[in-house]
Amino acid sequence: MTDITSDDQLYLSRAVALSRDHMNEGAGGPFGAVIVRDGQVLGEGWNQVTSANDPTAHAEVVAIRRACEAVGDFALQGATLYTSCEPCPMCLASAYWARISRIVYANTREDAAEIGFDDSLIYDEIPKPVSERIIPMDHVPSLEARAVFDAWVENPNKTAY
């Protein structure tokens, strides 16, 4: 827990305003997000799942994609993600992949569950052994798949991330 500044309050309010505005226009669920680095807004997002027919179009994912597009990089070290609700596991993991440095949120996953969003269920599923998940998962080892991984290691021209 770091100190909450007036700038933090400002950007979080912006994320919340986005959540209301785009819910009202029918874009999707009531979620908004803003990504900020060094006092500059790099990207904004809001939920577009139902309007874009894209189950991955959560506010945070959209904001990350837009911020990366804006800066021309697949990583956002030093950036803060402001979001109107605690990220779901998809969005939280995307923040890790994007190398986000801090997350500030308003509503919680329990608040989200209360209004019908499955974040808590998915949080419960992720740590389970593969064999105990609601979605059946079959591991089919493949020599060719393993060989592709070996080829990645041996490729001198790859861009690691």
Cα first-last separation, the chain: 28
Q: Is 60 a catalytic residue?
A: yes
Distance, in Å, from the CA atom of 63 to the CA atom of 22, rounded to the nearest integer, reads 14
Instruction: Assess 7 for contact with a second copy (CB under 8 A).
Output: no
Asked if residue 85 lies in contact with residue 103, where contact means CB atoms within 8 angstroms, the answer is: no
Question: 74 and 53 in contact (C-beta within 8 Å)?
Answer: no
Which of 1/39 has CB closer to a second copy? 1
- Shortest distance, CB of residue 37 to a second copy, whole angstroms? 14
Say whether residue 145 binds a second copy (CB under 8 A). yes
Residue 12 in the binding site for a second copy (CB under 8 A): yes
Name residues contacting a second copy, limited to 20-39 (CB under 8 A): 20, 23, 26, 28-30
Binding residue for a second copy, selected from 19, 33, 45, 46, defined by CB under 8 A: 19
Question: Which residue in 12, 42, 5 sits closest to 104, CA to CA?
Answer: 12
Which SS3 state, helix, strand or coil, does residue 31 take? Answer: coil
Binding mask 125-144 for a second copy (x = CB under 8 A): xxx--xx--xxxxxxxxx-x
**Binding status of residue 120 toward a second copy by CB under 8 A:** no
Cα separation, 57 vs 64, in Å, equals 11
Active site residues: 60
